[in-house]
Amino acid sequence: MSPEASFVVPAPETVSLPVIGSAARFPVRRVYCVGRNYLAHIREMKEAEDERDPPFFFQKPRDAIVEDGATVPYPPDTDDFQYEIELVVAVGAHARDVSVGEAFGAIYGYGIGIDLTRRDRQRECGGKRLPWEAGKSFDRSAPCGPITPAGAGGDPMRGAITLSVNGVETQRGDLAQMIWNVPEIVSNLSRSYDLEPGDLIMTGTPAGVGPVRPGDCIVGAIDGFGTLTITIGDREK
Ligand code: MN
C-alpha cells in the first residue's frame, strides 16, 4: 500500500502494548484465548466431561485491549461481570505447525492479562451450543499489562499467578498447573492457524474467578512478570 493511500472512513488505530526495557512497543495483531486450562477452574465451572480434553481456542478483538491502570466501565448486556487472571504469550515470529520443541523460538515475551467475561452470556451461549462471543469478545474485555521479553522476567513454566479484588486475594494458582503448558499451547494453535508477530495468546485461568462491581480495584500478578491493575467503572448505558 502506498504511503499516500487514503481511506473512505477513518482507519482503525494500531493497537500496541508497552515493552519492559524498551521505548518501542509491541503491536497487536490477534488475541487468542485458551479455554479450560487449569483443573481447579474446570471443576469450579463444572463444565468438562474429560478433564484432559485437547485445548480449545477463542478470540477477542484486538481493540478490546486496555492497558495497565485503565478504568473499564461495567459493560452492557450482563449482570455477572467476572475476571480471569491469565499469563499472556506474545508471539514474535511466524509459526505454522511447529513442534513443542520449536515453540519457544516463536515467542517474543510474556505479560499479564485479565480475560473479562460476561459470565451470564457465556453460560447461556454454552447451554445453547452457540459461540462464546457475547460472553467473551466484547469491548474492553482484554486488559493487558506490559510485555516482558523472554528471558528478561520470570519462568513461563512455573510461578505464582494471583488476583485480588479490593486487596482481598480471590485467585491463586501456579503456572505449573496448566494442563497444556506454554509450548504445547503454541504448538497446538499453530496446527490450525498461521501465528504471526503481534499475536497474543491468553493461556487460561486458575480457580477463584468471580464477579466485580463498579468501583472495584482488581490487581493481577504473576511471578517475574509484574502486576496489572484495573478499576471497574460505572455501568455503561
Ligand atoms: Mn479465560
Instruction: Give the distance (Å) from ligand 1 centre to CA of residue 132.
Output: 11
Instruction: Give the distance (Å) from ligand 1 centre to CA of residue 33.
Output: 6
Instruction: Give the distance (Å) from ligand 1 centre to CA of residue 18.
Output: 22
pLDDT digits (tens, 9 = 90+) for 178-195: 999 999 999 999 999 999
**Full-prediction pTM beyond 0.75?**
yes
109 closest CA partner among 95, 90, 86? 90
Q: Are 82 and 117 in contact (CB under 8 A)?
A: yes
pLDDT digits (tens, 9 = 90+) for 44-66: 887 666 666 788 899 999 999 99
- The CATH code of the domain at 16-235 is 3.90.850.10
Nearest-5° angle of CA 208, CA 161, CA 85?
55
Please report the pLDDT score of residue 6 as a whole number. Answer: 93
Instruction: Give the distance (Å) from ligand 1 centre to CA of residue 3.
Output: 39
Instruction: Give the distance (Å) from ligand 1 centre to CA of residue 72.
Output: 17
Instruction: Give the distance (Å) from ligand 1 centre to CA of residue 10.
Output: 32
Instruction: Give the distance (Å) from ligand 1 centre to CA of residue 85.
Output: 7
Instruction: Give the distance (Å) from ligand 1 centre to CA of residue 35.
Output: 6
If pLDDT is split at 50, 70 and 90, which confidence band does 1 have?
low
d(CA 20, CA 8): 36
Q: Are 117 and 138 in contact (CB under 8 A)?
A: no
The fraction of the chain above a pLDDT of 70, given in percent, is 96
